[in-house]
């Protein structure tokens, strides 16, 4: 088995992984052996090597995110570098975000704790955003309220060079 050296990742990449995981990631700690199972939509027959490598990379998240009973909570962000924070914002946009054609960007979550964490990181980066809470749509699987952060297009245009988001890059 090959090992991935996390020191090879820069702060932006590390932040991206944390943001991506907070949005769409999940893992299950092994009870019999100290290992993590990370789930992504990969082809089971063809992508075993990719899955193993990705699991090693994502193992880094245990120092930043608490994961209990399916709930994720960001543990630390105050000591992160700005590059790490920008990477985190890119990851959360690519997982729980939607970039409109005019570049205005929404980040949605059902977790009030994650909503507060993301809002705090945006504030630390001096990224202007508005926030609101909406009831869940009637046809929604989760009946929990939606916490929505909206970053206006003018703000996204101002910071686009700092945020390595794939969704944002589609429009540039």
Beta strand extents in 62-170 (DSSP E only): 65-68, 71-74, 97-99, 105-109, 130-134, 146-151
Query: Three-state SS for 56?
Result: helix
Question: What are the backbone dihedrals phi and psi of residue 105, each rounded to the nearest 5 degrees, phi first?
Answer: -125, 130
Best CA proximity match to 127, nearest among 78, 82, 167: 82
Question: What are the backbone dihedrals phi and psi of residue 60, each rounded to the nearest 5 degrees, phi first?
Answer: -60, -25
In the CATH hierarchy, which top-level class contains the domain 1-172? Answer: alpha beta
| Residue 143, C-beta contacts closer than 8 angstroms, at least 6 positions apart | 136
**pLDDT per residue of the chain (172 residues) written in tens, 0 to 9:** 334 456 667 787 788 777 767 766 666 666 666 555 545 544 567 656 655 645 655 666 667 777 777 777 887 777 889 998 998 999 899 888 999 999 999 999 999 999 999 999 999 999 999 999 999 888 888 889 999 999 999 999 999 999 988 889 888 7
Query: Per DSSP, what are the bridge partners of residue 151?
Result: 105
């Amino acid at each position: 088995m090959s090992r991935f050296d996390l020191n090879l990742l820069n702060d932006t990449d590390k932040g991206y992984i944390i943001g991506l995981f907070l949005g769409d990631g999940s893992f299950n700690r092994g009870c019999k052996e100290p290992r993590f199972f990370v789930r992504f939509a990969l082809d089971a027959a063809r992508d075993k090597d990719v899955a193993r490598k990705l699991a090693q990379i994502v193992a880094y998240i245990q120092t930043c995110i608490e994961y209990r009973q399916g709930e994720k909570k960001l543990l630390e962000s105050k000591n992160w570098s700005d590059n790490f924070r920008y990477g985190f914002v890119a990851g959360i946009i690519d997982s729980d975000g939607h970039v409109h054609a005019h570049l205005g960007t929404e980040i949605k979550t059902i977790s009030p704790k994650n909503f507060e964490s993301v809002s705090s990181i945006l504030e630390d980066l001096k990224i202007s955003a508005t926030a609101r809470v909406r009831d869940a749509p009637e046809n929604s699987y989760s009946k929990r309220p939606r916490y929505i952060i909206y970053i206006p297009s003018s703000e996204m245009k101002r910071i686009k060079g700092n945020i390595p988001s794939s969704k944002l890059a589609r429009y540039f």
